[in-house]
Amino acid sequence: MTAVLAPTRPVLADRLGRTRTIDATLVIGGALFVALCSQVQVPLGFTPVPINGLTFASMVVGGALGLRRGTTAMGLFWLAGLAGLPFYAGGEHGWSVASGATGGYLIGAIAAAMLMGAIAERGGDRRIRSSVPAMILANAVLIYVPGTLWLAHVVSAPVFGGSQSAFALGVAPFIVGDALKLVLAGLVLPVAWRFLGQRG
């Protein structure tokens, strides 16, 4: 089992070397990148969930940094916002946001980055035909599912059925925009690999 789970290929961040200082810098930089992208948001008046850059950033950070560093960067982002830094969408922070209507999406983004890190360590981030589908799957299963279920709990709405369901408030308005963000994110990593001239 260990041999099956062991990374077989370097990720983009490995091109910078592997030392504790480099790893720590990448983790902090990844958390800051996610925080910065989260500030790009478009509030929608009918739902507490805004359109923002979290989805894009979590996929890129997970794929670029790999499983451990990507997950750590996302965890640092979550903890920093929880501790009071203005890291969440719109500069928000604190437990009320982390456990509020969008809390499931925040946790889901950590899980999505973890999956993308594992996929990148197996070379799945190097080609568009594997990178984009992986990100769409991660978003659908690991961000939408916990996000929608938690939203339903917080706003006391059914998961499906009607304009006030969690699906109508937390998934349907975002499908097209998220698809565009995921295609963009899915292009970033293969293009970076091509630019660096390393495909193997």
Instruction: Give tens-digit pLDDT for 134-175.
Output: 999 999 999 999 999 999 999 999 999 888 899 999 999 999
Report yes or no on 2 lying in a domain: no
* Nearest Cα to Cα of residue 60 among 156, 134, 159, 5: 134
Report yes or no on 165 lying in a domain: yes
Question: What's the confidence (pLDDT) of residue 4?
Answer: 46
Report yes or no on 176 lying in a domain: yes
Report yes or no on 3 lying in a domain: no
176-185 pLDDT, tens digit per residue, is: 988 998 899 8
**Beta strand segments in 18-161, E:** 41-42, 51-52
Task: Please give the single-letter amino acid code of residue 27.
Answer: V
> How far out from the chain centre does Cα 85 lie?
19
Report yes or no on 200 lying in a domain: no
Q: What is the CA radius of gyration of the chain?
A: 17
Cα angle at 135 between 133 and 141, to 5 degrees? 100
State the residue range of the domain holding 110: 8-195
Query: What are phi and psi for residue 42, nearest 5 degrees?
Result: -130, 105
Least confident of 3-7, 86-90, 157-161, 162-166: 3-7
**Where residue 13 sits, what CATH number does that domain have?**
1.10.1760.20
pLDDT band at 6 (very low <50, low <70, confident <90, very high): low
Counting the structural domains of the chain, the total is 1
> How far out from the chain centre does Cα 10 lie?
20
Asked if 57 and 38 count as a contact pair (C-beta separation under 8 A), the reply is yes
Which residues lie closer than 8 Å to 167 by C-beta, 6 or more apart?
Answer: 148, 159, 160
Report yes or no on 134 lying in a domain: yes
Asked if 23 and 66 count as a contact pair (C-beta separation under 8 A), the reply is no
User: What is the percentage of the chain residues whose pLDDT exceeds 90?
Assistant: 62
User: What is the percentage of the chain residues whose pLDDT exceeds 70?
Assistant: 94
Question: What's the confidence (pLDDT) of residue 147?
Answer: 94
- How many CA atoms does the CB half-sphere of 135 hold within 13 Å? 33
92-125 pLDDT, tens digit per residue, is: 999 999 999 999 999 999 999 999 999 999 988 8
Report yes or no on 1 lying in a domain: no
Token pair belonging to 33:
């990148």
Report yes or no on 166 lying in a domain: yes
Look over the chain and give the mean of its residue pLDDT values, rounded to a whole number: 90
Which residues lie closer than 8 Å to 150 by C-beta, 6 or more apart?
Answer: 101, 103, 104, 105, 107
